[in-house]
Amino acid sequence: MAVQLPSIFAERMKSLLGDEFEQFMKSYEQSPHAGLRVNTLKISLEQFKEIAPFDMRPIPWCGTGFYVPHGVKPGLHPYYHAGLYYIQEPSAMAPVELLNVKPGERVLDLCAAPGGKTTQIAAKLQGKGVLVTNDIHAERTKALAKNVELYGVRNAVVLNESPERIANAFPHYFDKVLIDAPCSGEGMFRKDEDMVKSWENHSVEKCVLMQRDILETAAKLLAPGGTIVYSTCTFAPEENEAMIAEFLNINPDFVVNDIPESAGFAPGRPEWVRQMLPEKAEETGSVLEQTRGTARLWPHLLEGEGHYVAVLQHRAESLTEEDGSVLLIGQAVDTDFIEPSESVAPFIRTSAPISKEERKRERLMRTESRERNDKHTRGGKAQGKQGKGNERGGRKNERAQGRGTDQANVDPGTVYAQFVQENLEIELAGETVFYGDRVYQSSVGAARLEGLKVIRPGWFVGTVKNGRFVPSHPLACALNAAEAQRFVNLSSAEGEAVRYLKGETLNIEEARVERQADTVAKGFVLVCVDGFAAGWGKWLDGVLKNEYPAGWRWTSV
């Protein structure tokens, strides 16, 4: 069934497209194309191709993207809940591919919710560098944070801030900035009919004002020689070529990096600005022609929805600040791990986690200690029931006293470090910070986040409660089996995985609890689906207590 397009929109597109208009309109009689993108933070492309549970075709402009047949529901498979792929509209994968992110870079996703492009950037960083992801709408950051966590991103900071306030905290800091700009959404009419209904409320004029401010602020966030990718999902030239031309006119240190006309990408249309906005064309002059090097993704020319993408390159080797000083690449902007100031109340810096060699020594000492305790316990059995009763009472009183006194004085950093030693085989990167009772590993110095609305200051690894460390679900999602002291593997084919994802307790014999040498089976277990981490469980005497969060559970029949 064809989409009913607003008459004003259809008339404008007819005047712009000319001979192409009929072909453009026929695309609305077709179903939108479904796609997914493999999460290479958790699985390699080759591995996923071997285990993919449905047919796939490659998406030409994204090496990790695939079309899936119409009617297939990738969200109803345990692999989705294990974070092995992100369900994403095919055209929406193009902006991050054109951003050309490399491991170790500092990247900002400025208008990020719900997080598809953020997780795509994270996969390209491969855990190295800094990823700051932001959305100005507080409600939308919930989905953003959840996707960052589900897809195993370790080096992200999630903010709920205005671009201006981020620029104050991160001046000329980022190598790459992605702006998936708020827009009138005309390119999504076929995919989401609600966009048609709300089109008049999201007028082009309102969007232009927001886009202008966001672009200007992005220039202040970018390090010398950095790259901005600006994208929209609309056809309106006011929000696309005219916006880029205006930015270039005001910021002569930027140029357009031409996007090749391949994979169905069509060139920008500066002539439409001259046709519809002659005053803007006169104002921007010769820079307007640069927008021919931007790209338009048309639903009648490729298998995807309508998008626009521009790659903006800063060409200066230095950048003069308002005070006259010059920032050189790799010098004054290199301020990653700043010591937190005393005024950063929620944050406490702790020492780095203990090394792998030290953890092995700790495990050996614990094993020897257990053997001594077992020997002592066997000898103590001869003391009789009265002795055992006194012993139990003494231990009970000792524990009660500990809860009342010692545990209140336990250093959270020590408790966290002990958990890492006893349960993980990994050296956690970044700075350890505490926010209340919550523990994070942050790729950004705590002082830089002071005064910002921070949703996640880093990788959320757990909480310290009553003198104990409780690992978080995001910690499990970002681990692999080799990084855990103990793990259990559940089969997606036999239904075990779905039962776990629904929150059920499972009977798991001890032989199935894989573990490192000198590690007992009892304790926190990383639960994997066909070898890929999905969450935590606690194993004791053949029973795996389910630690999968209630709000994340499988609810489909």
Helix or strand (DSSP H, E) at 217: helix 204-221
440: its two tokens: 């994070």
Report yes or no: 187 and 236 within 8 Å, Cβ to Cβ: no
Burial label, 494 (beta-carbon count in 10 A; 0-12, 13-18, 19+): exposed
Angle in degrees, CA 277, 280, 286, rounded to 5: 120
Evaluate the CA torsion angle 479, 485, 488, 489 in order and state its sign.
Answer: positive
Distance CA 103, CA 119 (A): 14
Q: Is 483 helix (H, G, I), strand (E, B) or coil?
A: helix
477 is catalytic: no
3-class SS of residue 311 = strand
Backbone angles phi, psi at 465, to 5 degrees: -130, 130
Nearest Cα neighbor of 86 from 130, 60, 122, 61 is 122
Buried-state track 64-82, b at ≥16 Cβ within 10 A, e below 16: bbbbbeeebebeebbbbbb
| Cα(107)–Cα(227) distance, integer angstroms | 10
With beta carbons less than 8 A apart as the criterion, state whether 441 and 420 touch.
Answer: no
Q: Are 152 and 83 in contact (CB under 8 A)?
A: yes
Which residues are registered as beta bridge partners of 312? Answer: 228, 256
d(CA 71, CA 62): 22
Residue of 263, 275, 191, 188 lying closest to 238 (CA atoms): 275
Angle between helices 356-380 and 384-404 (to 10 degrees): 140
- In the chain, % helix, strand, coil (3-state, to 5) comes to 40, 25, 35
User: Parallel, antiparallel, or unpaired: how do β-strands 486-490 and 523-529 relate?
Assistant: parallel
Contact criterion met (CB below 8 Å) for 310 and 268: yes
Among 139, 141, 132, 143, residue whose Cα is nearest residue 165: 132
Q: What is the DSSP letter of 424?
A: B
For residue 206, give both structure tokens. Answer: 């309102």
Angle between helix 116-125 and helix 140-150 axes, rounded to 10 deg: 30
Place of tokens 């903010």: 159
The residue annotated as part of the active site, out of 62, 111, 207, 233, is 233
DSSP state letters, 143-180: HHHHHHHHTT-SSEEEE---HHHHHHHSTT-EEEEEEE
Rounded to 5 degrees, φ, ψ at 296 are -115, 130
User: What is the spatial distance between Cα 169 and Cα 92, in angstroms, rounded to a whole number?
Assistant: 29
In the three-class reduction of DSSP (H, G, I as helix; E, B as strand; rest coil), residue 507 is classed as strand
Bridge partners (DSSP) listed for residue 454: 159
- Which residues are annotated as catalytic? 233
